[in-house]
């Protein structure tokens, strides 16, 4: 039963992590905004319950790009009070110290990335516990799970689920909901606020799936 | 919330939205992506990348040998150096899981105190003065000694005593070389582990060993097995127990000590040492008197009737068992009823049950408990094991070369007439038997990966005998480590360790299927270390022995290329690449005893009227016996039954009534034998028990720095009530003394041990075996060096105390088991 949930949901889960990673990775370009409108992404967001003022997106794409870029900067970059998108700012190290860059969880995140044969793109100028890297890591693992299901390789799929569960519990759940809550509270534009709400619900659902539906699937605590 | 909560249904919508966004908005566009590379590492096993150089490491599938479980492994080699060991996911019995001991196996290869060169003593035996010699010199000397015995017509005076030797290596050394040389004088080590368990199996259901089908069970009654931490099939059974418990199985552990298994159990029921059998018998009584038994199984597949059993066990009441063991009668009744109703359940045991006086009887009681419930050979029950059946194409033809002069000194089976059925040897008495001389004395004793002074009881006696050249004129150690035994030998030959040599292998499957796996060298032997099979290749021609293969690799290759299934999968080449093979379509084997015999099976057979045993008589064996057993009649149908092994049980059923035991004047039915020494205890005396922890084996892993950093000292566990009466506080220095000596150790005051016992693990207190465990550097002549950077980081100086100094070599007269759990001691604060 639980395995069926994973098998059927792998592609959707993988893409959702990818979508969220993309939204929080960097500012959206005018072209991306156009595509978001033209390809129906915005409509689908609304269908899912996101309350987005369409009038905002009816403005010229360059204006929307500018407004979203200002919002992105204010929310995630600064200067001044902003919502830092790095795990070590939120999660205390083994001595209880918190709120500094390149903490223990950053080093651990680097190990996760490297252990599974990945490396940071040289074009991305941030550190390994950035929200987009953690979300993309999940996307990458679930992508492997999806491919394993496609070739009927249940063993590898289960192995992937173990990795997803461990990583989710070790990193994502410790700070991503908190981060998204702050976005929800601080965003002045609908887009980032409503996307954060969708992300928050998705992460909550992921916690249930990975921790409650894995009996007999993985041994990982 | 403004947005409705996302349901599972919405996940698919969200997924579709996201997919659209990833492609349409190009959120996943390569140049914008944060992470690069593939994730092949998620293909479990066989792939590993160096975190420093990003180079892919060479993956070599092989097999562990840190303990006898022999997990399948994948070892990773980088620039010729072994850097990491993982489990092999292609072997179902271990399922890619590897314990900490297995992962630390690389420390065995690069132990800075490892034996790297042959050496010969230059001072008196045990003086620690050695001279490095060449392999040619060593071989010349060993061959000279062996030739002399051969010429004198006494090859049996060459004795071979082994510890860590199994699979095709054992076959190679004993089956080929020793047989052709002419000596059957060998001794193993099983009686210091669980020998009585196997003797009980042979007396009761034939072949020894069993598999507990945990993943399909509903309830486990555990009598003295630390199955989550240590077992002869540890990883296969432990992970299936976890799986079974995740599905709802209950585990009840009766143990003197709160082991990690007891801690993970549904309930731990502390018991006084040596009294578990009282509980088992009382449970059988509850099941029989409550008519909860499996009548059909008892009638068809045991050699007793329901009425006989009822009558036999009625005196073993739960109230009586409570008085003996301390386990509450109410609990015994409750669990007995639950067990009989669990359908299926399985009752299990290990050293806690059998390392006692009459340990054989105890295990027979346990098998009977499983049998009365019908939990034999069923899913979720107590099953006859299924293992690899290798074909050795050379064996048949080679028999003609076996030596004409062939003798055997019975040094490995205990003192004359002291043990009723020592079918798994009496290793703890080997040295005593040699000293006594009634079975003759070997002129040359070669020890192979066994460490008698440390692993047997009464360490000092072992040392005294081994050092006495008038008792053992020539003593040669063939070992990986500079052990306590090697240090008092005349010559030491450096052995390759398990990661440097070959084996064709098999062990009990956790899934009741046939699983084949191999050991292949991961790295070349370090220094001048050499696999013993290579040594055999080199010395065999000196005795005119022409082995039918060039070397061990060729034997393993031939076995892979001729064994059904392995051959068709690709034989040796397939095994080199994958390490293991099994038939993915094979169904688990249960109900093996109920296999009906064919006409072909029955050709030329007779049926013994009294027992219903089907046998094939010949001139040498005209009556039914262990050699000519074919099957068992039940209600007019011929079944395979439970074949005999080493002992003639006189039945193909489960021998609840044991004729062989009756013949040797023991009670033929499972009964309760109180431990004689425990009946004479004075006030203040305690029972010393030993145990194993998850990160160490009995004696051969303490040179592994990763393991010994984790576990290097072993304070004595003592109950707070007991400690209070003795005026002992946690951390106090205490003296523990028995009839043969005393040790000084530290007290660990804890509720995790029964008040009647004091418990000390038997991994620590080495006085040799390298610096990580003993603090003693072996002589540089053997290969010891200071090149290991971690030597400077060794932070512990407390190496613990070895309890065997005060445990006598005390043998169970039924089966030869060393009675580790029966020693009576006095304890006082120092």
DSSP for residue B212 = E
pLDDT given for residue A221 in this prediction: 30
- Confirm or reject contact between B28 and chain A (CB < 8 A): yes
- CATH 2.40.50.140: does it fit domain B678-829? no
- Confirm or reject contact between A2 and chain B (CB < 8 A): no
- CB-hemisphere CA count at 13 Å for A148? 24
pLDDT given for residue B11 in this prediction: 82
Subunit contact A25:B239, Cβ cutoff 8 A: no
CA distances from residue B567 to B171, B573, B654 in whole angstroms, order as listed: 21, 10, 36
ipTM of the complex: 0.90
Subunit contact B24:A51, Cβ cutoff 8 A: no
Question: What is the rounded distance in angstroms from the CA atom of residue B491 to the CA atom of residue B118?
Answer: 7
pLDDT given for residue A61 in this prediction: 87
- Confirm or reject contact between A136 and chain B (CB < 8 A): yes
Nearest CA in chain A to B55: A117
DSSP for residue A169 = I
Say whether pLDDT at B31 is over 60: no
Find which of B39, B57, B83 to mutate to test the A interface (most A CBs within 10 Å of its CB).
Answer: B39
Per-residue pLDDT tens for B599-623? 999 999 999 999 999 999 999 999 9
Q: What residues 352-381 of chain B have any CB closer than 8 A to a CB of chain A?
A: none
- Confirm or reject contact between A46 and chain B (CB < 8 A): no
- Confirm or reject contact between A21 and chain B (CB < 8 A): yes
pLDDT given for residue B502 in this prediction: 98
Nearest to B227 by CA among B260, B200, B254, B257: B260
Say whether pLDDT at B525 is over 90: yes
Nearest to A115 by CA among A168, A167, A169, A151: A167
Q: Is B288 exposed, middle or buried (0-12, 13-18, 19+ CB in 10 A)?
A: buried
Subunit contact A119:B51, Cβ cutoff 8 A: no
Q: How many CB atoms lie within 10 A of CB B505?
A: 26
Subunit contact A201:B13, Cβ cutoff 8 A: no
Q: Which of B21, B42, B242 sits opposite A159 (nearest CB)?
A: B42
Q: What angle do CA B735, B738, B739 make, to 5 degrees?
A: 140
The residue extents of the domains of chain A are 2-27+83-212
DSSP for residue B5 = P
Task: Pick one of 1.10.3480.10, 3.30.1150.10, 3.20.20.140, 3.10.270.10 as the CATH number of A2-27+83-212.
Answer: 1.10.3480.10
Report the topology of domain B195-383: Dimethylsulfoxide Reductase; domain 2 (3.40.228)
Q: Give CATH superfamily name and number for B42-98.
A: ADC-like domains (2.20.25.90)
B274: left (phi over 0), alpha (psi -120 to 50) or beta: left
Question: What is the rounded distance in angstroms from the CA atom of residue B501 to the CA atom of residue B523?
Answer: 9
- Confirm or reject contact between B44 and chain A (CB < 8 A): yes
- Which helix or strand (DSSP H or E) is residue B386 part of? none
- Confirm or reject contact between B789 and chain A (CB < 8 A): no
Looking at the domain that runs over B134-193+391-449+495-505+515-582, which CATH code has it been given?
Answer: 3.40.50.740
Q: How many helices (H) and strands (E) does chain B have?
A: 29, 30
CA dihedral (B186, B191, B194, B200) positive or negative: positive
- Confirm or reject contact between B603 and chain A (CB < 8 A): no
DSSP for residue B79 = T
Say whether pLDDT at B4 is over 60: no
Query: Mind telling me how many Å the CA of B592 is from chain A's nearest CA?
Result: 28
Determine if the peptide bond prior to B344 is cis (ω within 30°).
Answer: yes
Tell me which chain A residues have a C-beta less than 8 angstroms from the C-beta of B7. 205
Let me know if the fold of B134-193+391-449+495-505+515-582 is the same as that of B678-829. no
Subunit contact B3:A194, Cβ cutoff 8 A: yes
Q: Which of B3, B24, B33 sits opposite A197 (nearest CB)?
A: B3
Secondary structure of B279-344 as H, E, C letters? HHHHHHHHHHHCCCCCHHHHHHHECCCHHHHHHHHCCCCHHHHHHHHCCCHHHHHHHHHHHHHHCC
- Confirm or reject contact between A151 and chain B (CB < 8 A): no
Nearest CA in chain A to B215: A216
pLDDT given for residue B37 in this prediction: 74
- Confirm or reject contact between A165 and chain B (CB < 8 A): no
Sequence-ordered alpha helix ranges (H) in B736-795: 771-774
Parallel/antiparallel/unpaired status of strands B757-761 and B685-691: parallel
Query: Mind telling me how many Å the CA of A201 is from chain B's nearest CA?
Result: 6
Q: What residues 179-198 of chain A have any CB closer than 8 A to a CB of chain B?
A: 194, 197-198
Low-confidence ranges of chain A (pLDDT < 70): 1, 215-221
More confident residue, B303 or B14: B303
Parallel/antiparallel/unpaired status of strands B741-749 and B733-738: antiparallel
- Confirm or reject contact between A155 and chain B (CB < 8 A): yes
pLDDT given for residue B380 in this prediction: 98
Find which of B35, B51, B99 to mutate to test the A interface (most A CBs within 10 Å of its CB).
Answer: B35
Question: What is the rounded distance in angstroms from the CA atom of residue B674 to the CA atom of residue B653?
Answer: 28
Subunit contact A16:B14, Cβ cutoff 8 A: yes
Model confidence band, residue B401 (pLDDT cutoffs 50, 70, 90): confident
- Confirm or reject contact between B33 and chain A (CB < 8 A): yes
Per-residue pLDDT tens for B718-752? 999 999 999 999 999 999 999 999 999 999 999 99
Model confidence band, residue B13 (pLDDT cutoffs 50, 70, 90): confident
The string of DSSP codes covering B629-694 is EEEEEETTEEE--S---SS--S-SSB-SS-HHHHHTTS-SS------GGGGGPPTTEEEEEEE--T
Subunit contact A25:B34, Cβ cutoff 8 A: yes
pLDDT given for residue B518 in this prediction: 98
Subunit contact B42:A40, Cβ cutoff 8 A: no
Say whether pLDDT at B81 is over 70: yes
Say whether pLDDT at B411 is over 50: yes
Q: Which of A39, A41, A123 sits opposite B31 (nearest CB)?
A: A123
CA distances from residue B561 to B74, B239, B533 in whole angstroms, order as listed: 22, 32, 20
- Confirm or reject contact between B81 and chain A (CB < 8 A): no
Q: Span B314-336, mean pLDDT?
A: 98
Find which of A33, A113, A116, A167 to mutate to test the B interface (most B CBs within 10 Å of its CB).
Answer: A116
Query: Mind telling me how many Å the CA of B8 is from chain A's nearest CA?
Result: 8
- Confirm or reject contact between A47 and chain B (CB < 8 A): yes
Return phi, psi of residue B540, to 5°.
Answer: -55, -45
Please count the residue pairs, one from chain A and one from chain B, whose beta carbons lie less than 8 angstroms apart. 180
The string of DSSP codes covering B397-466 is HHGGGS-SS-B---TTS-STTT-S--TT--GGGHHHHHHH-TT---SEEEEES--HHHHSS-HHHHHHHH
More confident residue, A140 or B35: A140
pLDDT given for residue A220 in this prediction: 35
Query: Mind telling me how many Å the CA of A95 is from chain B's nearest CA?
Result: 22
Say whether pLDDT at B660 is over 50: yes
Nearest to B93 by CA among B743, B581, B598: B581
Say whether pLDDT at B191 is over 70: yes
Q: What residues 54-73 of chain B have any CB closer than 8 A to a CB of chain A?
A: 54
Find which of A25, A53, A121 to mutate to test the B interface (most B CBs within 10 Å of its CB).
Answer: A121
Subunit contact A18:B43, Cβ cutoff 8 A: no
CA distances from residue B367 to B200, B295, B346, B348, B621 in whole angstroms, order as listed: 9, 16, 10, 9, 29
The residue extents of the domains of chain B are 1-36, 42-98, 134-193+391-449+495-505+515-582, 195-383, 592-663, 678-829
Question: What is the rounded distance in angstroms from the CA atom of residue B187 to the CA atom of residue B201?
Answer: 20
Parallel/antiparallel/unpaired status of strands B491-494 and B474-479: parallel
Say whether pLDDT at B32 is over 60: no
Nearest CA in chain A to B26: A32
Q: Span B486-507, mean pLDDT?
A: 98
Question: What is the rounded distance in angstroms from the CA atom of residue B723 to the CA atom of residue B298?
Answer: 47
- Mean predicted lDDT score pLDDT of chain B: 95
A6: left (phi over 0), alpha (psi -120 to 50) or beta: alpha
Question: What is the rounded distance in angstroms from the CA atom of residue A216 to the CA atom of residue B266?
Answer: 19
Say whether pLDDT at B596 is over 90: yes
Per-residue pLDDT tens for B127-172? 999 999 999 999 999 999 999 999 999 999 999 999 989 999 999 9
- Confirm or reject contact between B12 and chain A (CB < 8 A): yes
Per-residue pLDDT tens for B261-305? 999 999 999 999 999 999 999 999 999 999 999 999 999 999 999
């Amino acid at each position: 039963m639980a395995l069926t949930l994973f098998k059927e949901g792998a592609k959707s889960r993988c893409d959702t992590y990818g979508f969220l990673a993309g939204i929080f990775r960097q500012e959206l370009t005018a072209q991306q905004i156009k595509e978001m409108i033209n390809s129906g992404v915005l409509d689908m967001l609304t269908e899912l319950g996101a309350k987005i003022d369409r009038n905002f997106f009816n403005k010229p794409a360059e204006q929307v790009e500018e407004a979203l870029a200002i919002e992105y900067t204010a929310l995630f970059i600064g200067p001044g009070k902003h919502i830092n998108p790095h795990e070590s700012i939120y999660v205390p190290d083994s001595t209880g110290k918190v709120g500094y860059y390149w903490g223990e969880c950053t080093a651990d995140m680097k190990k996760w990335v490297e252990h599974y044969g990945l490396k940071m793109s040289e074009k991305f100028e941030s550190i390994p516990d950035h929200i987009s890297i953690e979300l993309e890591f999940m996307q990458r693992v679930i992508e492997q799970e999806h491919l394993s299901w496609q070739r009927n390789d249940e063993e590898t799929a289960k192995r992937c689920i173990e990795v997803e569960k461990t990583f989710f519990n070790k990193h994502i759940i410790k700070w991503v909901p908190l981060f998204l809550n702050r976005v929800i509270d601080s965003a002045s534009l609908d887009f980032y606020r409503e996307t954060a709400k969708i992300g928050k619900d998705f992460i909550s659902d992921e916690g249930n799936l990975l921790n409650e539906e894995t009996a007999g699937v993985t041994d990982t605590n | 919330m403004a947005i409705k909560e996302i349901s599972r249904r919405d996940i698919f919508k969200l997924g579709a939205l996201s997919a659209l966004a990833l492609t349409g908005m190009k959120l996943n566009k390569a140049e914008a992506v944060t992470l690069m590379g593939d994730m092949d590492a998620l293909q479990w096993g066989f792939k590993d990348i160096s975190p420093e150089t990003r180079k892919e490491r060479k993956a070599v599938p092989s097999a562990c040998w840190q303990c006898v479980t022999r997990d399948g492994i994948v070892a990773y080699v980088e620039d010729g150096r072994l850097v990491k060991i993982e489990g092999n996911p292609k072997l179902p019995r271990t399922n890619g899981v590897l314990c900490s001991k297995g992962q630390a196996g690389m420390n065995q290869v690069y132990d800075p105190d490892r034996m790297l060169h042959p050496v010969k003593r230059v001072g008196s035996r045990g003086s620690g003065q050695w001279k490095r010699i060449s392999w040619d010199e060593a071989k010349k000397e060993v061959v000279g000694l062996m030739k002399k015995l051969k010429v004198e017509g006494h090859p049996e005076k060459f004795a071979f005593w082994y510890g860590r030797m199994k699979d095709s290596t054992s076959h190679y050394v004993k089956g080929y070389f020793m047989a052709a040389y002419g000596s059957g004088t060998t001794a193993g080590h099983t009686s210091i582990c669980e020998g009585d368990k196997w003797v009980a199996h042979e007396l009761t259901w034939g072949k020894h060993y069993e598999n507990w089908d945990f993943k399909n069970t509903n309830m486990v009654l555990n009598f003295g097995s630390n199955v989550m931490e240590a077992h002869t099939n540890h990883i296969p059974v432990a992970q299936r127990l976890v799986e079974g418990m995740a599905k709802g199985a209950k585990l009840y552990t009766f143990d003197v000590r709160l082991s990690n298994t007891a801690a993970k159990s549904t309930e731990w029921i502390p018991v006084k040492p040596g009294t578990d059998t009282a509980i088992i018998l009382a449970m059988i009584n509850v099941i029989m008197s409550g008519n909860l038994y499996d009548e059909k199984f008892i009638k068809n597949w045991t050699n007793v009737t329901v009425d006989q059993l009822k009558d036999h066990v009625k005196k073993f009441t739960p109230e009586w068992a409570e008085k003996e063991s301390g386990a509450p009668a109410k609990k015994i009744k409750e669990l007995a009823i639950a067990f009989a109703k669990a359908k299926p359940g399985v009752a299990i045991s290990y050293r806690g049950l059998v390392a006692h006086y009459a340990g054989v009887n105890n295990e027979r009681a346990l098998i009977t408990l499983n049998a009365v419930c019908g939990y034999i050979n069923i899913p979720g029950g107590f099953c006859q094991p299924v293992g690899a059946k290798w074909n050795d194409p050379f064996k048949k033809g080679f028999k003609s070369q076996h030596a004409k002069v062939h003798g055997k000194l019975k040094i490995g089976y205990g003192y004359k007439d002291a043990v009723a059925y020592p079918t798994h040897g009496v290793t703890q008495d080997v040295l005593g038997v040699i000293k006594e001389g009634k079975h003759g004395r070997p002129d040359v004793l070669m020890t192979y990966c066994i460490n008698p002074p440390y692993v047997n009881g009464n360490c000092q006696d072992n040392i005294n005998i081994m050092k006495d050249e008038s008792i053992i004129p020539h003593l040669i150690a063939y070992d990986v480590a500079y052990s306590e035994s090697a240090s008092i030998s005349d010559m030491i030959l450096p052995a390759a360790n398990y990661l440097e040599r070959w084996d064709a292998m098999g062990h009990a499957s956790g899934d009741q299927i046939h699983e084949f796996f191999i050991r292949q060298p991961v790295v070349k032997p370090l220094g001048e270390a050499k696999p013993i099979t290579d040594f055999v290749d080199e010395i065999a021609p000196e005795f005119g022995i022409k082995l039918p293969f060039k070397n061990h690799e060729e034997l393993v290759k031939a076995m892979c290329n001729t064994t059904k299934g392995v051959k068709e999968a690709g034989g040796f080449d397939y095994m080199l690449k994958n390490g293991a093979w099994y038939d993915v379509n094979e169904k688990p084997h249960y109900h093996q005893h109920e296999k009906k015999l064919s006409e072909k099976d029955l050709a030329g057979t007779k049926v013994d009227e009294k027992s219903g045993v089907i046998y094939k008589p010949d001139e040498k064996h005209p009556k039914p016996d262990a050699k000519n057993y074919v099957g068992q009649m039940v209600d007019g149908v011929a079944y395979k039954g439970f074949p005999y092994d080493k002992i003639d049980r006189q039945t193909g059923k489960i021998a609840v009534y044991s004729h062989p035991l009756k013949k040797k004047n023991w009670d033929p039915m499972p009964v309760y034998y109180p431990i004689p020494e425990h009946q004479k205890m004075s006030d203040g005396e305690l029972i010393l028990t030993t145990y194993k922890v998850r990160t160490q084996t009995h004696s051969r892993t303490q040179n592994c720095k990763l393991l010994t950093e984790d576990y290097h000292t072993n304070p004595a566990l003592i109950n707070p009530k007991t400690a209070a009466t003795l005026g002992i506080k946690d951390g106090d220095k205490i003296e523990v003394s028995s009839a043969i000596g005393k040790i000084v150790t530290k007290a660990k005051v804890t509720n995790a041990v029964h008040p009647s016992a004091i418990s000390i693990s038997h991994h620590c207190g080495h006085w040799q075996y390298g610096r990580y465990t003993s603090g003693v550097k072996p002589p540089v002549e053997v290969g010891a060096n200071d090149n290991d950077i971690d030597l400077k980081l060794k932070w512990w100086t407390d190496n613990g105390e070895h309890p065997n100094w005060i445990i006598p070599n005390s043998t169970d007269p039924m089966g030869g088991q060393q009675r580790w759990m029966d020693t009576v001691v006095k304890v006082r604060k120092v």
